[in-house]
Structure 1
Amino acid sequence: MIPASLIPMAEPIPVPWAWFDVLLILTFTAHILFMNALLGSAAIGLVRTVRGNDGLMHDVGQKLPPLLALTINMGVAPLLFLQVNYGHFDYVSSVLMGGWWLGVIAALLFSYYGFYAYKFKYDAMSPGRRNTLFVLSLAGLLYVGFMLTNNTTLMLLPAAWTQYFENNGAAFLNWGDPTLFPRFLHFMLGSIALGGLFVALLGQWRKIDEYVDSGMAWLTRATLVNLAVGMWFLIALPRDIMLGFMGGNLPATLTLVTSLLASAMLLAAGFQKQPKRAATWAVLTVFFMSCTRHWVRTFFLAPWFRIEDTPVTHQYSSLYLFLGFLVVGLALTGYMLKLYFKSRQGRA
């Protein structure tokens, strides 16, 4: 079986591909920021509860339902932009995963309602029952993250798609990819780091110094460990791709170096216990890491596909409509947030 024969033909796109790649990176950055705050703060709260202090898990638990809703909504846009430019790879990998991929929907629904029950029925449940519900809801999110990592790596490896025929048409996961686990751990440790930052910002907002100190400690320690995992991820890449980030491709190398410099500034703000400044560098770090991730995808798909070769129909009306709704939507969202914070000040 020739792997190239399994790749569907790329469909024409309405406007040049760069529009969708830029929007993909920007929306993915927003999605990751919310996801990190959600998953990381939940994990930190659980660890604190195991250590005998469930105050943080209670406070964080009140924020998890809206955070999960925002994470899901922010994840729709990058998924759609990914499917516009790279759908003929993403759709195939999703189908090959079969039930494993469909299980993502069930896991998200379970975690969503689990966190809602934790928030609104906290006093009605026994400590053991609500802690069990919290753990299971967090486990659902970890399942989603691992399946997303599987799908992301499998779409980049058409040569691995032939396993479908070797397994008699059974769904499979991308266990043979050496980048699978370092990539997954890289995202999870990033979640712990930014979850710590979320806890610190929550502490600063509520004037709880303990939350600030604890959150900044989680941020710095997880980031330091993640730098080592990031090196593992880099070494696990195929040699030609790894060398592309080590001077073989200047834009990719500069992107990686810039993300490391932003991480260094994030660490400095963390050690100085300045949550707001750390938040600025966290956004920049995630953005440049998202750009680096995009380079990884480009390098992996280079033997099979060049985005520049995708046919373009030059039908800009849909783009103008999208940008118009985006501007109006952001303006309305900003206005609603302004009213929300104004009402909070009035009640205070």
Structure 2
Amino acid sequence: MNPASLIPMAEPIPIHWAWFDVLLIVTFAAHVLFMNAMLGSAAIGLVQAVRGRSGLIREVGMKLPPLLALTINLGVAPLLFLQVNYGNFDYVSSVLMGGWWLAVVFVLLYSYYGFYLYKFKFETMGAGMRLALFGSSVLGIVYVGFMFSNNMTLMLEPGGWHSYFDGYAGFLNWRDPALYPRFLHMMVGALAVGGLFVALLGRHQGNDGFVETGMTWFFRATVVNLAVGVWFLVALPDRVLLAFMGKNLPASLTLAAALLSAGVMLYRGFHGDPRRTAVWAVITVFFMACARHWVRTLYLAPWFKIESVPVTNQYGSFYLFLGFVVAGGGLMAYMLKLYFKSRQGRA
């Protein structure tokens, strides 16, 4: 079977494809930052609670419902932009995963309401029930992350789609050697950013214990993640790996910028400065999102060129979108201003 016959025809897009790629990268970087802060801090709090230190999990648990809500909302945008430019690959991989992919919605809802129950029923639940509910909610988020890693790798390998016709109603991308380091790179990164979030929370509350715990997790997880990143890089197909090794200059420079910013971030973290470290963490995540986009482009190069997608040059909807972004951003800023003026916000 010719794998190209399984790839749907790309639909025309209203404006130049570069707009959607830029929006995809920026919104994905924002989503990753909130996801990492949410999942990483939850995992750190859980580990601390198992060790008999329940103060951190209590504080983190109060922040998780809004953090998860922001993570979900910020995740919708990059998923939509991905489907505009690469929907003929993403839709196919989602369908091939079948029930594994559909379960993401229900597992995410379970984790969402689990964190809410933890927050609002904390005083009425026993310690064992609280820990079980919190731990299962964290595992639910890990499941969602693993399914997204499967989907995002499966969409890049049309040559493996024919396995669906071997009699499986839905399958995972177990055979891809890059799946495992890709997933671990995201999860270990979540521990690093989660540790940074804990440190920032401690700095805000004047809790030196939280700062020390958070920065320790951040530094150690970042060092481990550098090794996982090397594993991820060498697990890529040769043509993709060589592109990052100098064969494709823009991709190589993007990776170099990501590594340089990660080095500065690690330096700041070693000196125990959570605020400046956070600035460099944002920069590093942005460059990593750019590198991830290069991975997608290079993987799909034999099958698809985004430049070949027809453009209708209908900019009306784009201007409407920009208007809503500006107006919505202004409303959000106003709501945050009112919140921090309130008693709860000041607390």
Please confirm whether the aligned pair reaches a TM-score higher than 0.5, indicating the same fold. Answer: yes
Give 1:336 deviation, angstroms: 1.6
In the alignment, which residue of structure 1 is the partner of 2:315? 316
Is the 2:340–2:346 contact (alpha carbons within 8 Å) kept by the matching residues of 1? no
In the alignment, structure 2 segments of 5+ residues that lack a partner are none
Q: Give, in angstroms, the shift of residue 346 of structure 1.
A: 9.0
- Corresponding position of 1:51: 51
Q: Which residue is equivalent to 2:171? A: 172
Query: Deviation string for 1:209-258 (max 9, x for gaps)?
Result: 01011101111100000000000000000111101101111110010010
CA distance in 2 between partners of 1:208 and 1:186 (Å): 29
2:342 match: secondary structure = helix
Q: How many residues align?
A: 347
Q: How does 1:62-81 map to 2 (within 5 A)?
A: 62-81=62-81
d(CA) in 2 for partners of 1:347, 1:237: 48
- Write out aligned runs for 1:248-267 (5 A): 248-267=247-266
Question: Does the aligned pair in 1 maintain the 2:28–2:75 contact within 8 Å?
Answer: yes
Instruction: Describe the superposition over 1:293-323 as per-residue Cα deviations: whole angstroms up to 9, x where unpaired.
Output: 0000000000000000000000000000000
In the alignment, the residues of structure 2 paired with residue 73 and residue 59 of structure 1 have an alpha-carbon distance, to the nearest angstrom, of 23
Mean Cα displacement is larger for which, 259-268 or 291-300? Answer: 259-268
Alpha-carbon deviation of 1:67? 0.5
- State the Cα deviation string for residues 61-103 of structure 1 (Å, max 9, x = none): 0000001100000000000000000000000000000000000
The aligned residue for residue 211 of structure 1 is 210
Letter in 2 for 1:91: Y
SS of the equivalent of 2:185 reads: helix
CA distance in 2, matches of 1:72, 1:89: 22
Residue aligning to 1:4: 4
Distance 2:217 2:242 in 1: 32
Query: What residue identity is the alignment partner of 1:234?
Result: L
Residue aligning to 1:186: 185
Structure 1 residue runs of 4 or more that deviate by more than 3 Å after TM superposition: 344-348
Unpaired segments ≥5 residues, structure 1: none
Instruction: State the partner residue of 1:95.
Output: 95
TM-score, length basis structure 1: 0.98
| 1:344 shift after superposition | 4.4
Identity %: 68
Give 2:329's aligned residue: 330
Counterpart check, 1:129 vs 2:129: yes
Paired letter, 1:47: V
Distance (Å, rounded) in 1 between the aligned partners of 2:74 and 2:346: 30
Aligned equivalents of 1:130, 1:49: Cα separation in 2? 10
| Aligned equivalent of 1:239 | 238
Please state how far the C-alpha of 1:331 moved relative to its aligned partner.
1.2
How far the C-alpha of 1:347 sits from its partner, in A, is 5.8
Kindly report the root-mean-square deviation, in angstroms, between the aligned alpha carbons of the 2 structures: 1.1
SS of residue matched to 1:63: helix
Match of 2:223 in 1: 224
1:271 is matched with 270
**Corresponding position of 2:197:** 198
